Chains A and B, each alone.
Chain A
Amino acid sequence: MIDQPFDAAFEQHIQEIAGQMTYPPTPDLAATLARPVGALRPALSARRWALAALGLLVVIAALMAVPPVRAAVLEFIRIGAVRILVGEPTVTPVPTSMPLPPRSGVAPIPQLPVTATSAGPQTTGDLADLSRLYGETTLEAARAVFHHPIKLPTYPPDLGRPDRVYRQNYDQGLIILVWLQPGDPRQVRMSLHIITDDTIIYKFEPKIIQSTTVNGEKAVWLEGPYPLMVTGPSANDMVISRLMVGKSLVWAEASTGLTYRLESDLTLDEAIKVAESIK
């Protein structure tokens, strides 16, 4: 990377603003930790282990008391780099399409109808959500370092290049392309995650899961809302991403090993058109 010329005025400006930062009161750590250094280790270690064990039990108990979570641990499916914890259906399952054949050790995907609640207006992503994402870059810079071609959808015809590009999990690959609404650039129109096999994205308890195909390869259609977390073997950060609290299409591309996740407020048919237009 070429070093930028140093901008002393900008640095001073940043320093002045940063110096005005307000913080929560500093806790009195000395009161807790002030004991002879040699004595600190066993006493606090034992206590912390006990607290940690107790805390874990409490969290597990709390989680299992929440029906969606209890259900979520029951089933698990995988599409490429994406793992999905699938809960028990809360509505009567009605097959709406041919389910994928279950693979060895993988639960079949439950087929749930689109309910009235999920068919209503979708919440689109607000630009404020983008502030949680780190690793913003340009398409050209991302293409220079990503180990696979970064292909763009050509549908809808007016889509154009992404407005925002993020590269995360730097040793591996997670590229996030974001298109903003043309009439309201504070709203996210669509986002596309391009994920290598090294990166794992967990999705929890989507309300609607439906099997489908993209270019003849298996895919799943998910409707949220759901918390979603991205992690990677050497990532410095985990990111909770809720760019679009709505619908997503997840598919894997066997020829490259890449997994794609398209989030938008499109219908399933439209989302597949977008997915199959990626060239």
Chain B
Amino acid sequence: MSEPDLIRSARAGDAAAWEQLIISHQEAVFRLAYLMLGDPAEAQDAAQEAFIRAARALPRFDESRPLRPWLLKIVSNQARNHRRAAGRYVAAVRRALLAEPEKVIHPAAEQAARSDAHDLWAAVRRLESKDQEIVYLRYFLELPVTETASALGVPEGTVKSRLSRALARLRDVITRDFPALREDVPA
């Protein structure tokens, strides 16, 4: 059954169709939330809430459009809300008060133990939120430009110009603090 058919069936109350849609997209939705929040439990909460919101809005969704960018847009909003949420704030303070002082990991040792991809993630997290989001969508989740544009709610041309600026800023961060990630360094 095609995605538009599944959407129509889900709207009509077909639980199996809705389950199939969740299965098709839960990985991308969860991964974007994880990239944005950095915590699997919080990412799961955000992803779950995103699917609930999507279910509520499904009757108004235009099934001629792909579902994935729409779901990713919802989950990115959800992840931003999680970052702002008072619950997260209180939890962070509580952790900080109860926990031992944070272990400081020397960057050299840390770098040796982590993969290039995780170092890249650390570099991306130094960028502004909007730069982070477009890099996650385009390069980590490997969305085509059209879907990236749809997920961000901007024209494709804007995606390209934003990506260009985000990459320039990312290059600065990598050059300065993650030299092992430079493209002229052999893997």
Q: Which residues of A contact B (CB under 8 A)?
A: 1, 3-7, 9-11, 13-15, 17-24, 26-30, 32-41, 44-45, 48, 52, 55-56, 59, 62-63, 66, 68-69, 123, 126-129, 131-136, 170, 186, 204-205, 225-227, 229, 231, 235-238, 240, 242, 245
Contacts and interface: CB of A to CB of B under 8 A. Distances in A.
Please give me the 5 A-B residue pairs with the lowest Cβ-Cβ distance, nearest first.
A34-B19, A227-B96, A4-B168, A13-B183, A18-B139
Interface residues of B, number: 80
- Secondary structure call for the B interface: helix
Given A7-B167, A36-B15, A186-B107, 7 more contacts: A48-B52, A69-B93, A134-B127, A186-B106, A204-B93, A229-B89, A236-B129
A227 B97 contact: yes
Interface of B: 10-11, 13-16, 18-19, 22-23, 26-27, 29-31, 34, 40, 43-44, 47-49, 51-52, 55-56, 58-59, 80, 83-84, 87-94, 96-98, 101-102, 104-107, 110, 115-118, 120-122, 125-130, 132, 135, 139-140, 142, 160-161, 163-165, 167-168, 170-171, 173, 177, 181, 183
Contacts of B87: 52, 55-56, 59
Contacts of B10: 36-37
Contact of A10 (B16, B80, B110, B171): B171
B55 A3 contact: no
Contacts of A134: 125-129, 132
Given A15-B139, A18-B139, A131-B126, A36 B94 contact: no
